[in-house]
């Protein structure tokens, strides 16, 4: 099987990102975004998705967290899209549930080539660490658009916003891990259209 890897370099006036991704990794990470909670979530995402992820971001966090959060999702989404290539042989559809203590999240994903995010995290706090809760939702939306996937994420219950957010990242990781898996019975691109582009 061809290595499903990608590298993304993204420089703007707001962020400078270097990213390397291996879809068929073991969960090895080297992540530094300048935002502790985002590092924590990206590490959980990679470990539970069994992705090898190296990501460094220097961002304008003196302004706020928005550009770093958004641009890491853009770069990671683009890397997932590139690593999948024409998407031949993948399982394509997957879902997963992830609990974290009292919280429970569900993610359903279709690597359809058509971006469509639906994200309901139900976060109540304004901030978790240095990240605005609205930007956590925005991260999921941006990742879906740039990975060209339909991604539905719902946190079904939970009292602690840290737990709710982390359960959502873990559910996404598990669903993505299943969706990118190679189906040994597949004979080509899993679409009646003949393309997932």
Picking from 121, 87, 72, 95, the residue whose alpha carbon sits closest to that of residue 176 is 95
Q: 27 in helix, strand or coil?
A: coil
User: Quick one: which of 25, 70, 62 has its CA closest to 45?
Assistant: 25
Q: Quick one: what percent of the chain has pLDDT higher than 90?
A: 90
If you classify domain 5-180 with CATH, what class do you get? alpha beta
pLDDT at 105 over 70: yes
Assess whether pLDDT exceeds 80 at residue 107.
yes
pLDDT value at 192 more than 60: no
pLDDT digits (tens, 9 = 90+) for 108-151: 999 999 999 999 999 999 999 999 999 999 999 999 999 999 99
pLDDT digit string, tens, across residues 153-165:
999 999 999 999 9
Mean pLDDT, rounded, for 17-40: 98
Residue 2: per-residue pLDDT: 83
At residue 162, φ and ψ (nearest 5 deg) are: -60, -45
pLDDT (mean) for 43-63 = 97
Closest CA to 139 of 62, 56, 42, 61: 42
Neighbours of 100 (CB within 10 A): 21
Residue 197 clears pLDDT 90, i.e. is over it: no
Helix (H, G, I), strand (E, B) or coil at 190: coil
Whether 88 and 55 have beta carbons less than 8 Å apart is answered as no
Question: Does residue 196 carry a pLDDT above 60?
Answer: no
For 171-187, what is the mean pLDDT?
Answer: 91
Using DSSP, how many helices (H) and how many strands (E) does the chain show?
A: 4, 10
Q: Which pTM does this prediction carry?
A: 0.94
- Round to whole Å and give the CA distance between 7 and 54: 9
pLDDT, residue 190, reads: 59
Cβ-contact 44, 169 below 8 angstroms:
yes
Average of per-residue pLDDT across 4-28: 98
Average pLDDT of the segment spanning 56-70: 96
Q: Map out the domains of the chain as residue ranges.
A: 5-180
The whole-number pLDDT of residue 183 equals: 86
């Amino acid at each position: 099987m061809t290595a499903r890897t990608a590298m993304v370099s993204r420089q703007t006036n707001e962020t400078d990102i270097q990213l390397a991704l291996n879809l068929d990794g073991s969960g090895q990470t080297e992540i530094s975004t300048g935002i502790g909670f985002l590092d924590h979530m990206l590490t959980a995402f990679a470990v539970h998705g069994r992705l090898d992820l190296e990501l460094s971001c220097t961002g304008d966090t003196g302004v706020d967290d928005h550009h770093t959060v958004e641009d890491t999702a853009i770069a990671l989404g683009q890397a997932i899209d590139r690593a999948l290539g024409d998407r031949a042989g993948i399982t394509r559809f997957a879902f997963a549930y992830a609990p974290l203590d009292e919280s429970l999240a569900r993610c359903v994903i279709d690597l359809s080539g058509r971006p469509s995010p639906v994200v309901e995290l139900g976060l109540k706090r304004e901030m978790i660490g240095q990240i605005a809760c609205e930007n956590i939702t925005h991260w999921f939306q941006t990742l879906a658009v740039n990975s060209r996937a339909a991604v539905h994420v719902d946190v079904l219950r939970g009292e602690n916003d840290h737990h709710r957010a982390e359960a959502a990242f873990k559910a996404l990781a598990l669903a993505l891990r299943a969706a990118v898996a190679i189906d040994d019975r597949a004979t080509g691109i899993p679409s009646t259209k003949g393309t997932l582009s």
